[in-house]
Amino acid sequence: MLNKYARAFFTRVLTPFAALLLRLGVSPDAVTLIGTAGVVAGALVFFPMGEFFWGTITITLFVFSDLVDGNMARQAGVSSRWGAFLDSTLDRVADAAIFGGLALWYAGSGNNNALCAVSIFCLASGQVVSYTKARGESIGLPVAVNGLIERAERLVITLVAAGLSGLETFGAPSWIGLLLPIALWVVAVGSLVTLIQRVVTVRRESAEADAAAAAAAPSEPPSQTPSDTPSESGTA
């Protein structure tokens, strides 16, 4: 849902900035690489130290590169399969860094093995959710399902909760620190539901495609039995 509406809004907002970068000679691929590097740095430097507010601010500043690079490519008329591949691949790297940084915090100073495991599950399930759609499409299926929690929802829920939890260091009430654990559980459960939705959809679509292919295949003529074979005459 967020992919549909948020992308349209931010694309309009960021179009002038994308045009400026193009005039400065910056390539879409460079924006993709710099954005991913910023997200990874923000997640793996700040989150393991428990600096959730500043980590979220840093990540948020760079995560918009995912919208800017595509906008730049469309404006410059240089959209390509390589650009789409690079963008999708580095999205997985950025997501892994965010949940990996949270897992490092809970495995270390956060001292909560359960939330460490939940963070790792969010990391892994997010990768698998993306893979199921990509793999289904690669075998010719539409995978026509959005799912309960996709990448945009995972990021928004996690980063908003992390940023608000980080306000505790600035004197916010202690209960605000509970937002991040709650968000991680929500993302974990939502990702599991989304994964099931996509697997069920791929199974249904593959069965329909196989049935349609079988119905369209020409039927083979019946094989000739020995009784149908003309007998050879013994005449010369």
Alpha carbon distance 166, 178 (integer Å)? 11
Known active-site residue 66: no
The conformational region for residue 111 under phi > 0 = left, psi -120 to 50 = alpha, else beta, is: left
Alpha carbon distance 133, 144 (integer Å)? 9
Alpha carbon distance 13, 141 (integer Å)? 33
Q: State the virtual CA torsion across 13, 27, 47, 195 in degrees, nearest 10.
A: 80
Catalytic member of 91, 95, 210, 228: 91
Secondary structure of residue 44 in the 3-state scheme: helix
For the chain, helix (H) and strand (E) counts, in that order, are 8, 0
Q: Return the active site residues.
A: 91
